Amino acid sequence: MYQFTVIVPVYNEEDNLQRVKDEFLAYFKIAIKKTKVLFVNDGSTDKSLTSIKSICIDNDAFSYISFDKNRGLSAAIKAGFDYVETPLLGYIDSDLQTTPKDFNLLLEHIEKYDLVTGVRANRKDSFVKNMSSKIANGIRRAFTHDGMDDTGCPLKVIKTEFAQRIPMFKGLHRFLPAMILLQNGNVLQVPVQHFPRIAGTAKFGLWNRLLGPLMDCFAYLWMKRKYINYNVAEKG
């Protein structure tokens, strides 16, 4: 029955999870695709897993998988890709600095595109965070030529068949549009709302927002040179 699964990576976000539940219950009522949620608990050490289990017991539109220990955001997203069974998947951060309601803006375009990503308009982050993000995006664009202004935006919709072919490594969540282009897919960016973080703490600092992605660019270039792509002309 479901057409669209939203992956929600969680690492020590117990103070935000009730809001996540409430926001999605509101979104389910207006969603243009029948939607479910898959929590990926990335080895949280607080009470996040307990909260996730409670949410999933109350409503069968919510499900979860949980890691044995913290593996990082790229691993959580990859696991979500692997466990999704619907033809479309999405991704949103559990800090809710973006809203599930804006998935409808992206879903309007997914028939013509293979990935539709948000671009955070009027970002509500600190000056240092905004500037480091802009610099990192500029460096990444120079390496990938993907034309994307804000690959760090935690609001995306992807056709599942494309997402499940991405050979993920640590840090590759910043290169999802580029990885779709490597598959000869097409991508689009759409402005979405952005909000201040209300609860919990940010998991990324200057190092993993700026210097880390620079090193990942070289890994991407290596992968691009080695990437295997083919089309089957016929079979029998």
Domain ranges of the chain: 4-226
Please give the residue that has the higher pLDDT: either 227 or 56.
56
Residues whose CB is less than 8 angstroms from the CB of residue 29 and which lie 6 or more positions away in sequence, other chains included? none
Task: Output the average pLDDT for the chain.
Answer: 86
Alpha helices in 84-151 (DSSP H): 103-107, 127-144
pLDDT in tens, 121-148: 766 555 556 566 666 666 666 666 676 7
Q: Which of 6, 10, 64 has its CA nearest to residue 37?
A: 6
pLDDT score recorded for residue 214: 73
pLDDT in tens, 190-221: 999 887 666 656 655 555 556 667 778 887 78
Token pair for residue 26? Answer: 């509101």
pLDDT score recorded for residue 138: 63
CATH class of 4-226: alpha beta
- What predicted TM-score, i.e. pTM, was given to this entire model? 0.83
